[in-house]
Amino acid sequence: MPGWGHIAERGSIWGIRFTAACYRTLGRRASLPLIYAVVTYFFLTDAPGRRASLAYLRRIHATAEGRRVLPRPPGLRECYRHYCTFALAIVDRLAIWFGRGDEFEFTSHGLDYVDRLAEQGRGALLLGAHIGSFDALRLLAQRAGRTVHVLMFTANAERLNSVLRELAPEIEDRVISVDPSSVHSVFAIRERLRRGEHIAILADRIEIGARDRALAIPLLGGSVELPQAPILLAGLLGCPLVSIIALREGPARYRVELDLLAERVRLPRQGRTEAVAALLTSYARRLEHHCLASPYQWFNFFDYWGDAGSEVRSSRAKPHAEGV
């Protein structure tokens, strides 16, 4: 099964340039019809993405909690809504990039912990995911006078990242590029944590070529591979580990949820893998909670469980799994 890193940057260059030009010229409201047209094109031509979306939405529907927000078996209508929700997240992202962040409103849960760290001059490792908006988190940190650096694996999307640098060059100063063959990024992270700054990483995907450094973790009735690297890094640096997600609640309105996973990560010599798995499981439980509460804000449009296009086979899904 090809991983996310092997998915081509299909249409991303012209799509982002076009979307950015629409937003910059017309503003949010007037550009939305054009942006929806772009999304509709990708929805109609992206068969693997549609299958992945439906496989994920079926997993949501297969749970009692999920059926509160997805009462009917998901089909193409729900899949299209999934794509459109992604489009709205991109529009919000452009608003932040183009300096319209003052339009955004936030509610939050758990951020008092980060405030306490700031008083102590300590930094933390923030585990995010491809749910909601990472840029909204960056905006909130900026408003609060906090510095957050993003740890990013960029080798799989050089063309796309070149466009993003053109659109928002200031973001580059807060990005630490990951090179799996080098230890320089570890030293850069250590220095920033010592300055009381935070390091954020999207921890729901494994890096290219790092499948042997991933662990199988339960999520939504199946098993997914999550990277050990963020947990091992937190253990090496002895820093706090938190899960943080920003979920869209309306136009330019987000709710930020922070959950402490460990005040200080300690990984024993004996049973290290089990300790890493326990922390990844806690992280996955938070992902599952957010997916069930806001299912359309999960933006992994690839075969995440390896079952896209098939029915969910977990025991809890059997009575409710449906075909398209």
Q: Rounded to the nearest 10 degrees, what angle do helices 76-97 and 47-61 cross at?
A: 100
Give the pLDDT band of residue 225 (cuts 50, 70, 90). very high
Distance CA 48, CA 93 (A): 25
Residue 321 pLDDT exceeds 50:
no
Residue 83 pLDDT exceeds 80:
yes
> Would you say the C-alpha torsion 72, 75, 81, 82 has a positive or negative sign?
positive
**Range in 47-51, 67-71, 221-225, 315-319 with the lowest mean pLDDT:** 315-319
pTM of the model: 0.85
pLDDT of residue 2: 42
Percent of the chain with pLDDT over 70: 79
pLDDT of residue 285: 97
Distance CA 137, CA 143 (A): 10
> CA-based diameter of the chain, in Å?
59
pLDDT of residue 69: 92
Domain ranges in the chain are 4-297
